[in-house]
């Protein structure tokens, strides 16, 4: 049977999830994003919540943060050890370096991969298993057919988001908040959802082209279980306890009793407990514009009454969910013996009064069973009561009730007992390997017009070119080749299971053209590139935010690794660079890759060859470009520019400095390159220092 995992951002939400039938509760937001309204899961609240779950036979999974910096790695490990000692059943993680550290510090603790790992293919799941995960959440953009292929062959358990708000960015990996909106990053679970606001793709400014409907797969649960998916999880860690209760109850009933929601319940789900619409279009393989442009939801008295009724349900009742067996033995001349046992093997015993020999009919075994079965108001329910009552013995009903209460109270105390955990040593800081010579100059282009002989004459050490452009046989790379510039193909940011044959063909074409290096921002692409005989460099999409992640990727075979653009310059300077380290020092960073063609959704037709942009209400203009598989890449509204502050990136152990050109003209590409070589004083329009000044990963 599918395991149902429900979210909780507060102790009340934990209660709501458990009392509504969740098998596992995923908690932890307030630990990494303190101060959010209604969230109180500090250390004390977390300990209470884990005990609450354990008593009621519900597993507790604790998030130990998003991306870790060097400064926050120790705090994340402290939290993980604390949760393990309190009895957490699993830790939910995302950061590659943290996963490696946890495998050493808590070798026996199950680690589950967060949805932001964005496992889109079997290779991605295999890479997650190799990192040390025992379960991974699959990217929500996958269709039923793709999910089936992955789940059936996956070496570890897979989980699928069956309900709730999901990000328009693939796998939930979005950088708009970090780079453009007060440096509040989704990478550390502090997203303010700027994508839900108004944007324009050429029409009126009241469009919401990035605001997605909530995923709803309640009609497809049997299909998920049939292909081997282990866990169905609900998203919405920042939503209300009433939302958690209502959604969890519907899904628990559908999974365990095969009872689907009524039309009235579906309408309540849509109008009261969602963003205004529900969709299963990704799962059915039919995504389209109907998944967007949601209306604004306004306070409604009827909705408030519904939420109040839901709250009464989980706050005023106790769902009996822990099966127990009772035993009662009454013999003449001996004190009555009662015992109880739960499904985990925990036992409790109780000695009562000596029964009276009435010399006539006394209390019956049936009466004792009837009293023992009365477990209302507790988390327990009786599945069996075995009684051996001597003939003619009498025993007060009140005494049997007292025994039952005492047994259940002792059993409840035993659920608070946790087994000792095996704790290993914390990993030491990796050793820095200084690069040989000054940093390499790396140029990345986006279109063929930018590949000019003048740019080649600037003598870059490495050139990154889109793989599809190289495969088409562009002649623009010849001036670079003539000067001995190494050329690497930029692989697609996202490759789903269905697109793997196309990727293999693309790699074969590149290899035939003499391309031997690729740039990849997804771990799942490492194996595919390796099988094609390609050397792999790591792009910023790998989210390298600490020294341990950098070290682990270097050991995994990456020739160089790009650090996260969400770090501050100070944090990058302090990192131990045990592998060749790149830093993007110029350009518009891709803030998201979306599996939707925003251009087609807005214009009603695909016009990816035409430059397109998206504007926000603050005047920011975000270029939108075609991406592999009819996806779109949205670039930041401002260009990172650091040439006027070279102290930020010089002398800090970097192997390479990357200039990322997107919508720049050939002349601007040349001017920028010359500026970074200190040959002019050019300053681009709309420049910024990005998150490098203050950093967005401040947890």
Burial 196-232 (b: 16+ CB within 10 A, else e): beebbbeeeeebbbbbbbbbbbbebbeebbebebbbb
Residue 103 corresponds to which tokens in the numbers above? 């495998």
Three-state secondary-structure class, residue 612: strand
Please report the pLDDT score of residue 283 as a whole number: 95
pLDDT for the residue 34: 47
Domains, the chain, in order of start with CATH, read 3-166+212-288 (3.20.20.70), 322-415 (no CATH), 440-589+642-688 (3.20.20.70)
Pairing type for strands 558-562 and 612-616 reads unpaired
Return the ∠ at Cα 567 (arms to 430 and 424), rounded to 5°: 35
Q: How far lies 590's CA from each of 142, 169, 565, in Å?
A: 22, 11, 10
- Cβ neighbour number for residue 377 with a 10 Å cutoff: 10
Long-range contacts of 501-507 (CB under 8 A, 24+ apart): 503/528, 504/528, 504/532, 506/467, 506/468, 506/471, 507/532, 507/534
- Counting as low any pLDDT under 70, the low residues of the chain are 29-40, 180-184, 203-206, 293-299, 359, 603-609, 698-699
Q: What is the pLDDT of residue 434?
A: 92
Kindly state the tokens that stand for 299: 């306070």
Helices (H), 114-230: 122-131, 144-153, 176-180, 221-226
Which pTM value belongs to this model?
Answer: 0.93
Identify the CA nearest to 269 among candidates 162, 114, 138, 142.
Answer: 162
Cα 588–chain centre separation? 25
Q: Are 160 and 229 in contact (CB under 8 A)?
A: yes
Write out pLDDT tens, residues 13-28.
Answer: 999 999 999 999 999 7
What tens digit of pLDDT does each residue of 204-225 get?
Answer: 555 788 888 899 999 999 999 9
Instruction: Measure the CA–CA gap between 518 and 380, rounded to whole angstroms.
Output: 57
What local confidence, expressed as pLDDT, does residue 456 receive?
98
The answer to whether the beta carbons of residues 435 and 580 sit under 8 Å apart is: yes
* Residue 237, pLDDT score: 84
Residue 56's Cβ-side half-sphere holds a number of Cα atoms within 13 Å equal to: 28
Given a contact cutoff of 8 angstroms between Cβ atoms, the answer to whether 450 and 671 are in contact is no
| Burial label, 421 (beta-carbon count in 10 A; 0-12, 13-18, 19+) | middle
CB 97 within 8 A of CB 546: yes
């Amino acid at each position: 049977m599918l395991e149902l995992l429900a979210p909780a951002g507060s102790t009340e939400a934990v209660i709501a999830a458990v009392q509504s039938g969740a098998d596992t509760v995923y908690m932890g937001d307030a630990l990494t994003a303190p101060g959010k309204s209604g969230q109180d899961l500090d250390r004390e609240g977390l300990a209470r919540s884990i005990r609450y779950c354990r008593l009621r036979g519900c597993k507790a999974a604790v998030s130990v943060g998003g991306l870790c910096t060097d400064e926050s790695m120790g705090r994340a490990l402290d939290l993980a050890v604390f949760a393990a000692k309190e009895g957490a059943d699993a830790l939910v993680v995302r950061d590659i370096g943290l996963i490696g550290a946890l495998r050493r510090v808590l070798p026996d603790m199950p680690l589950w991969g967060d949805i932001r790992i964005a496992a889109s293919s079997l290779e991605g799941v295999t890479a997650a298993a190799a990192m040390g995960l025992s379960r991974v959440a699959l990217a929500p953009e996958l269709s039923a057919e793709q999910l089936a292929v992955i789940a059936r062959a996956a070496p570890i358990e897979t989980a699928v988001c069956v309900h709730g708000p999901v990000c328009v960015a693939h796998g939930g990996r979005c950088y708009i908040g970090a780079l453009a909106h007060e440096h509040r990053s989704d990478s550390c679970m502090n997203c303010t959802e700027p994508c839900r606001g108004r944007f324009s793709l050429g029409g009126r400014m009241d469009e919401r082209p990035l605001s997605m409907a909530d995923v709803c797969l309640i009609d497809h649960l049997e299909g998920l279980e049939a292909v081997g998916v282990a866990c169905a999880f609900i998203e919405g860690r920042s939503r209300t306890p009433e939302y958690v209760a209502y959604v969890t109850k519907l899904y628990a009933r559908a999974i365990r009793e095969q009872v689907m929601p009524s039309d009235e319940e579906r309408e309540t789900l849509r109008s009261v407990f969602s963003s205004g619409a529900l969709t299963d279009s990704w799962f059915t393989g039919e995504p389209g514009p109907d998944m967007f442009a949601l209306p604004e939801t306004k306070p409604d008295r009827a909705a408030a009454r519904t939420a109040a009724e839901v709250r009464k349900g989980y706050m005023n009742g106790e769902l009996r969910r822990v099966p127990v067996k009772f035993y009662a033995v009454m013999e003449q001349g001996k004190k009555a013996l009662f015992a109880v046992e739960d499904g985990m093997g925990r036992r409790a015993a109780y000695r009562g009064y000596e029964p009276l020999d009435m010399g006539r009919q006394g209390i019956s075994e049936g009466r004792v069973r009837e009293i023992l079965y009365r477990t209302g108001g507790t988390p327990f329910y009786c599945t069996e009561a075995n009684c051996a009552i001597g003939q003619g013995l009498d025993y007060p009903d009140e005494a049997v009730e007292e025994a039952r209460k005492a047994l259940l109270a002792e059993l409840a105390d035993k659920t608070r007992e946790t087994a000792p955990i095996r704790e290993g040593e914390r990993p030491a800081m990796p050793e820095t390997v200084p690069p040989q010579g000054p940093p390499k100059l790396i140029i990345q282009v986006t279109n063929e017009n930018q590949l000019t002989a003048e740019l080649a004459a600037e003598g870059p050490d490495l050139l990154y070119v889109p793989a599809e452009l190289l495969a088409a046989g562009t002649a623009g790379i010849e001036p670079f080749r003539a000067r001995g510039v190494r050329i690497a193909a930029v692989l697609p940011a996202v490759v789903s299971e269905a697109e793997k044959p196309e990727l293999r063909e693309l790699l074969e074409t590149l290899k035939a053209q003499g391309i031997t290096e690729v740039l990849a921002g997804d771990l799942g692409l490492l194996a595919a590139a390796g099988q094609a005989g390609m050397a792999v460099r790591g792009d910023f999409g790998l989210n390298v935010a600490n020294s341990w992640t950098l070290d682990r990727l270097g050991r995994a075979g990456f020739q160089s690794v790009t650090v996260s653009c969400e770090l501050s310059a100070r944090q990058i300077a302090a990192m131990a660079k045990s592998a060749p380290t790149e830093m993007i020092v110029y350009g518009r960073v891709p803030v998201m890759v979306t599996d939707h063609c925003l251009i087609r959704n807005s214009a009603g037709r695909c016009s990816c060859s035409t430059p397109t942009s998206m504007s926000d209400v603050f005047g920011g203009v975000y270029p939108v470009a075609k991406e592999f598989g009819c996806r779109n890449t949205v670039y930041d509204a401002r260009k990172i520019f650091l040439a006027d502050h070279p102290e930020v990136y010089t002398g800090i152990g970097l192997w390479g400095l990357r200039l990322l050109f997107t919508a720049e003209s050939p002349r601007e590409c040349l001017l920028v390159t010359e500026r970074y070589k200190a040959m002019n004083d050019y300053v681009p329009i709309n420049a910024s220092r990005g998150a490098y000044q203050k950093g967005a990963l401040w947890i």
